[in-house]
Structures are given as C-alpha cells and as structure tokens.
Amino acid sequence: MSKQPASLKEYLKERKKIVDDALDRFLPGEDRFPPLIFESMRYSVFAGGKRLRPVLCMAAAETVGGDIERVVPVACAIELIHTYSLIHDDLPLMDDDDFRRGMPTNHKVFGEGIAVLAGDALLTEAFHLMSDGEILDKVAPEALLKTISEVSTAAGFYGMIGGQVVDLESEGKDADMETLNYIHRHKTEALLTVSIRAGAILTGASETDLAALSAYGRGIGLAFQITDDILDIEGDKELLGKDTGSDKAHNKVTFPALLGLDGSRKRARESIDEALSNIAHFDDKADPLRMIAKFIIERKS
C-alpha cells in the first residue's frame, strides 16, 4: 500500500476514495430506522470534504512503516468528529452559516433540532468506531485506549471545544495575537495533530517518532489556519463553495487582520518549513507528509 504516488493530485484522490468507501461502509444507510438521522448525518459526511485528517492519519502510519489498513476506522472516526463540529458550528446559535462546500448547511436542510442530533450522533459513533468492529482485529487494546483518550482530549474542552468557546466569546471584540493563537491551536490544530499521532500510535511508533510527527502537525496546523483566513479574504467563492468575507462579517479575529496578507503568507511558509524540518530525518515513506505540507498552503479551497 505504500507505493509512491505519481502526483499529489493522484495521491489525494486515491486516499480520499479509501476514506469515502470506508465511511460509506461504516455509516448505516437511510434504510435503517429512524431514516432522518442517517439522511442528515450522511448529507454532511458526504458533502465533498477533502478528508485531510484521515489522509494525514494514514500518511503518518506509512511514515513509521505501518499498514494504512490498520488505521482506517480511526481515520474515519476523526472525520466524523470533524463533520460534527462543522454541523454544530454552522448553527444559527453559533456561526450562523447558510452554505458550506457549495451546499446548504445541515440545519438549512433538516432543521436545527435534527442538525444538533446529527452532530451528537456523529460524535458518539466516532467512539464506537474506535472501540468495536474491525479495528479490534487490527490493533492492540492498549493502543486503542490511548488513541481514544488522545482523540477525546483533542476534541474536548482542552482542545477543539475550548477553541470554539473562545472563538464565540471573542466575536466582535478586539482580540490580540494571544487569543488568536489560543483559538487556532485548539479549534484547528488539536484535531489535525491528533489525526497524525493516532496514525502513528496505532502502528506502534516510537516516542521519538511521535514527537517529531506532533511537531510536524503543529507546523501544518498553523499554516492550514492562516491559509483558511487568507482564502476567506481573497479566495474564489466558486472553488471554496461558500461566501468569502465571512470572518469580517462575524468580526472574527484572523491572522491577516493582525499580520496583514503578506505577513500572513510569510508566517504560513515559515510554519511549513518548520513542519518539514521536523520530519527531515524520515526516509521516502514520509514523502506523502511532505507533499501534503506543500498542499496545505497552495490549496485554493
């Protein structure tokens, strides 16, 4: 499974297909009762995401010489957590967004009550995927518990949810770099980094390799958030599948607001260089992680 891909585009497409197929297998269909919850969950899960977190999880497993098949259920679980967070963040009581990835947001289609429940169900099912089913044949129980613990921390009050709380609280206020860093590190970086760590933990990486991969995760996490902020200003609405200018409309604190556009681009490049230097000692099995790092700042959506 670890043959070198011809190009980044081909690599991402192949990996996205592995994830999409697995998600389709793991998520019950609308033939199950009550159909509405499965329709709502599937609407958002299959809305065309890049599957960046699962792809990173698999690439980290490959980097340390592991088999990507072993990490697919956990990679999918993390994608479910990412999707739940988008559904809840888009609610009128949170960011109040009507479109995502070119489609109406979950609550615009299914109503706010079902959208909350679909998010709750995706979060809950993520932990089911990490504790039962095919993963049990592939990974030692201790490594699974460590993964569940790390993922729940990254998604919880000291991670993604903590970041969203501070994001909500800082709307419309003059926020400083310290606040911006807190929001980004918790809201975005925590789940990206744990995707990489999980791939490595599940395939038996050493503590040294784990530390190097975590540093890589922090580097691409910062670059990812800065690029998101830049795209919200000068991105192509068609490619993004949503309106630009949303950060400004919500009075959100962003990197371009504090560093300017040029300063932000410079910071993103430095952060990617830092990420790459942390995985420089790995052999060519880390090439996918190297390609993804460059993709993070070059992407148009």
From residue 171 to residue 210, what is the string marking binding to its own copies with x (rule CB under 8 A)?
Answer: -----------x----------------------------
Q: How many CB atoms lie within 10 A of CB 171?
A: 12
- The answer to whether 15 contacts its own copies (rule: CB under 8 A) is no
Calculate the CA 131 to chain-centre distance: 20
Shortest distance, position 99 Cβ to its own copies, whole Å: 20
Site size toward its own copies, by CB under 8 A? 50
Task: Rule CB under 8 A: choose which of 9, 10, 24, 28 binds its own copies.
Answer: 28
DSSP-assigned beta bridge partners for residue 57 = none
Shortest distance, position 16 Cβ to its own copies, whole Å: 25
Residues 109-168 that bind its own copies (CB under 8 A): 111-114, 116-117, 119-121, 123-125, 127-128, 130-132, 136, 141-142, 144-146, 148-149, 152-153, 155-157, 161-162, 164-166, 168
Of residues 88 and 252, the one with the C-beta less far from its own copies: 88
46-51's contacts with Cβ under 8 Å and 24+ in sequence apart are 46/20, 47/100, 47/101, 47/103, 48/101, 48/102, 48/103, 48/241, 49/79, 49/82, 49/83, 49/101, 50/12, 50/16, 50/301, 51/15, 51/16, 51/19, 51/20, 51/79
Report the phi/psi class of residue 186: left, alpha or beta, with left for phi > 0 and alpha for psi in -120 to 50.
alpha
Residues 65-84 that bind its own copies (CB under 8 A): 84
Using only C-alpha atoms, the chain has a radius of gyration, in whole angstroms, of: 18
Least Cα distance to 222 among 250, 252, 249, 182 occurs for: 182
Site residues (vs its own copies, CB under 8 A) = 28, 33-34, 36-38, 41, 84, 88, 91, 93-94, 111-114, 116-117, 119-121, 123-125, 127-128, 130-132, 136, 141-142, 144-146, 148-149, 152-153, 155-157, 161-162, 164-166, 168-169, 182
